[in-house]
Amino acid sequence: VLIIVIEVIRQCTSEVSILRSKLRRDYTSRRKERACGLGLMRLPIRRLRGGGSTFNSTCGGDIEDWSLKASSLLHSQRSKYNESEVLNVEDYMSPLFPDNPANLLGFVKDILAMLSDHCTRDDFNHAYRTARFRYKMNPKKAQIRLVYEVLRNNGLIKPNESLERQLVSRPVRSLSGVLVITVFTSPYPKYGNKTQRFSCRHNCFYCPNEPGLPRSYLSDEPGVRRAKRHKFDAYNQFVARATAQHVNGHPIDKIEILVLGGTWSEYPHEYQEEFLRDIFYAANTFSTSPQNESRRPALSLAEEQVINQNASARIIGVTLETRPDSIDTDEIRRMRYLGCTRVQLGIQHTDDQILRHINRGCTLSQAIHAVKLLKDGGFKIDFHLMPDLPSSTVEKDMAMFTYLLESSEMQADQWKIYPCQVTPWTRIERWFREGKYKPYRPLDLLELIVWVKSRVKPWIRLNRVIRDIPSSYVIGGNNCTNLRQMAKAVLAEKGLRCDCIRCREARRDTSPEQVENATLIHRKYSSSNGTEFFLSFESPDRCTIYGFCRLRLSRSTGICMLSNGSRQLYLPEIVGCAMIRELHVYGSLQRVKAREDSQETSRKFSSLALVKNPDT
């Protein structure tokens, strides 16, 4: 059918080609959404009893609606129902599975009967195939887990932790030890009775400025679609994403908040504080208040932060996105007050001539100053880097990466490499159409990424190697969405490897024996007039990292040297302190109150990293 449709479309007129572009964009968006665990109810799926129809419309239109209903069931307590209601589990499921949920109930019970308390992935797959053949149905893991939790929460079955691990959808979401939840700020932030009409006052020529969206983001990006659906409300964005992850089996215990949209430092202070207050409030009330019950009123940001220290859904990190020229001592103090732990800096390039050509509005010297202030303030730093910008060349981009790897002034903890892409609502779109901007050949870009990955330092985490822009938006430049995988394959062919943290993180298949053989590795390097110690537990061949500690020693911690030679104590409470900027253990996310040891990691890693460093 797909081949026939494609052939028909190819024979259509130019007017129909516009429709083809829209269909391709919609299909790509839905596919990406489903891959991210968001499209459970958007695409047609089989009826639970084996037919081809979709779910009844009473189920809601997408995973978030479905998840919110599921969350209400999972939060239900036995005391709220009489005995007959507790036993009639089908009544609980009927709002979610109106197509005769008895079949799904039997499906799950058969799987439970076939599995032991210590089932493996192969055991689960065998039981799933057997039940699928018997009931002629193909339920999702999230649906199976929902029925399992309803049965478990009402005391009708015994908990099976092995099965719970097998029922996690897209386990990579929490394999780094934390669960990342992304929220977007409003394009028109309101504070009091005022509305600011911009999210960033600058006009970088590569940055899209789509109406109705925060600067640099496009409407069909998965996270942006979710934000638009909730009108950029911080509370609703958090609840929707956290609920979807909860239904997919991820513990909502240790959460890192990623705030995107525009330039954070240019939003009104009142809006900033209310936005982050609502996020902490959403986390504090997420696990204790079912969605269909009234919530307590929100308190101040400081009060919600204190409550969150003992909440079941704890926010262990807040990442904000800003520009290097926005960082000064006042901004550092404010970020600490807001609870920020990591800052994403839009460096883009280190060549001032290129920065002027794209109207960036900031310079390398400002970036160097910002990095020093942030590191002396105890923050983690994430660089955004853009090869293939207008007026750049492969040689200039190689010089940029060489400088970032070797210079002590610009040592970041994490990188995001975003090759420049021509998108609508940008100045470079016009340049591209006029022939004034010609991006790299695809092979040149691939070779550059391979070159960078083969040289990256082991204390740097390459978070991304391409931005997740839907291909339908890309007018020119890189349009390969799996560039990182291609670079990894080329490295393997050449007998090389990438030593960045992300490529070496411990995964689910790590055995306890491998963890026992881990060794403590000491790495020391200079950074922004200070000394950084990167202490990590790694496998003997250095191919796997289980955990690490970033320790900074600097005589200027909390101190800023002014142009007249005097010193400003902008953070007097940390002057003279050694700063542990990050402590991270990899492996499956462990619940806050869990007492059992992780299979992938050991709790001893954190303390051993601190006491075994002879240099400190």
CATH number reported for the structural domain that contains residue 353 in this entry: 3.20.20.70
| The last residue of a domain, from among 124, 147, 167 | 167
Nearest alpha-carbon partner for 216 in 169, 176, 260, 272: 260
Model-wide pTM > 0.95: no
Structural domain includes residue 414: yes
Same domain, 117 and 188: no
Nearest alpha-carbon partner for 152 in 103, 207, 108: 108
Nearest alpha-carbon partner for 29 in 462, 486, 481: 481
| pLDDT the model gives residue 287 | 65
Task: State the DSSP string of 518-567.
Answer: -EEEEEEEEETTEEEEEEEEE-TTSS-EEEEEEEEE-TTTTEEE-TTS-E
Structural domain includes residue 40: no
- The position carrying tokens 């609703």 is 236
CA distance readout (Å), 519 to 546, 597, 605: 10, 19, 10
Same domain, 127 and 207: no
Structural domain includes residue 105: yes
Amino acid letter, 5: V
Structural domain includes residue 426: yes
SS3 state of residue 320? strand
Same domain, 272 and 398: yes
Distance of CA 103 to the CA centre of its chain: 36
Q: Measure the CA–CA gap between 295 and 291, rounded to whole angstroms.
A: 9
| pLDDT the model gives residue 288 | 41
- The position carrying tokens 């070159």 is 451
Q: Measure the CA–CA gap between 514 and 46, rounded to whole angstroms.
A: 42
SS3 state of residue 380? strand
CA distance readout (Å), 54 to 24, 92, 137, 348, 484: 22, 20, 13, 46, 36
Q: What is the DSSP letter of 176?
A: B
SS3 state of residue 272? helix
Same domain, 273 and 393: yes
Angle at 392 between CA 389 and CA 393, to 5 degrees: 120
The runs of H, that is alpha helices, within 424-552 are 427-433, 442-453, 483-493, 501-504, 512-516
Q: What is the DSSP letter of 267?
A: S
Structural domain includes residue 321: yes
Burial (CB < 10 A; 0-12, 13-18, 19+), residue 132, is: middle
Phi, psi torsion values for 269, nearest 5 degrees? -60, -40
Structural domain includes residue 373: yes
- The position carrying tokens 């931005």 is 467
Same domain, 107 and 208: no
Sign of the CA dihedral with 34 first, then 383, 240, and 425 last? negative
Rg (alpha carbons) of the chain, rounded to whole number: 26
480, 482, 483, 485: CA torsion to nearest 10: -160
SS3 state of residue 156? coil
| The last residue of a domain, from among 150, 167, 184 | 167
Q: Measure the CA–CA gap between 220 and 230, rounded to whole angstroms.
A: 15
Same domain, 136 and 248: no
Per residue in 370-397, is it b (16+ CB within 10 Å) or e — as a string?
Answer: bbbbbbbbbbbbbbbbbbbbbebebebb
Q: Measure the CA–CA gap between 375 and 363, rounded to whole angstroms.
A: 19
Distance of CA 70 to the CA centre of its chain: 23
Same domain, 156 and 252: no
Nearest alpha-carbon partner for 370 in 343, 348, 407: 343
Same domain, 183 and 158: no
Q: Measure the CA–CA gap between 236 and 594, rounded to whole angstroms.
A: 28
Amino acid letter, 583: L
CB atoms within 10 A of CB 190: 14
Nearest alpha-carbon partner for 242 in 206, 287, 290, 208: 287
Domains: count for the chain:
2
Structural domain includes residue 535: no
Same domain, 413 and 370: yes
Range of the domain at 105: 95-167
Same domain, 443 and 375: yes
Helices (H) and strands (E) in the chain, counts: 23, 17
Q: Measure the CA–CA gap between 358 and 202, rounded to whole angstroms.
A: 11
Structural domain includes residue 55: no
| pLDDT the model gives residue 53 | 29
Query: What residues pair up with 500 in beta bridges, in sequence order?
Result: none
Q: Measure the CA–CA gap between 540 and 10, rounded to whole angstroms.
A: 56
- Structural tokens at position 142: 């999230």
Per residue in 412-427, is it b (16+ CB within 10 Å) or e — as a string?
Answer: bbbbbbbbbbbbeebb
Same domain, 347 and 406: yes
- Structural tokens at position 577: 């302190």
| The last residue of a domain, from among 502, 523, 558 | 502
Same domain, 150 and 178: no
CB atoms within 10 A of CB 291: 15
Mean pLDDT per segment of 10 residues, for the chain of length 616 residues? 42 43 50 36 29 33 53 47 39 48 83 87 92 87 84 84 85 79 97 93 96 95 91 94 85 92 97 98 76 76 96 94 97 97 98 98 97 97 98 98 97 98 97 96 95 98 92 92 92 96 85 86 97 96 94 94 85 94 82 50 51 50
CA distance readout (Å), 108 to 69, 135, 153: 20, 11, 15
